[in-house]
Amino acid sequence: MQKGVLAGFPVVNLAADLFDGSYHPVDSNEISFKLAAILAYKQTVNANPIILEPVGYLKVLIPTSYSGDIMGDVSKRRGRIMGMGESDRKGYTVIEAEIPSAEMNNYAIQLRAMTQGRGSYTFDFVRYEEAPGEIANKIIEEAKKAEE
């Protein structure tokens, strides 16, 4: 489970249901149960594994005049705008969004450039979500190249 079948990442959120089993004093031992768990694991990874990506909560504080540019940039980064409102600071707006962590590379630099150094943000991890097909395929291809 430490090295998944798709791209070598750890396997998470795995569940197996045991429908039938029996115990026999001669044949039932620790190794038998470990082998049964290994067989159950092999069947689950053949089911339909997916790649998950971390998603975080982004809160951006910007001058109101830059709201459209920032919302467009967040959307370009596969973000979902969750809300927008006025800040306690006069003339500033707060934009809240959920965005994949992979899209946050160089965000501080981009935000400062787009807002002339007046924007700031916080970003906190929220959950994992299924990676879109084209991104998952890219990750799998890169993992295969790295293995070779």
Q: Is 3 inside a domain boundary?
A: no
* Sequence-ordered alpha helix ranges (H) in the chain: 30-45, 67-76, 107-114, 133-147
The dihedral region occupied by 7, where left means phi > 0, alpha psi between -120 and 50, and beta the remainder, is alpha
Please report, for residues 2, 8, 17, 102, 141, the alpha-carbon distance to residue 148 in angstroms, rounded to integers and kept in the order given. Answer: 19, 13, 36, 24, 11
Look at residue 45 in the predicted model and tell me its pLDDT: 67
Containing structural domain, residue 102: 52-133
Q: Is 142 inside a domain boundary?
A: no
Q: Is 47 inside a domain boundary?
A: no
CATH number at residue 104: 3.30.70.240
* Structural domains of the chain, count: 1
CA gap 68, 102 in Å, rounded: 22
Considering the entire predicted model, what is its pTM? 0.72
Q: Is 126 inside a domain boundary?
A: yes
Instruction: Of 35-49, 60-74, 113-127, give the lowest mean pLDDT range.
Output: 35-49
The rounded mean pLDDT for the chain is: 85
Look at residue 112 in the predicted model and tell me its pLDDT: 94
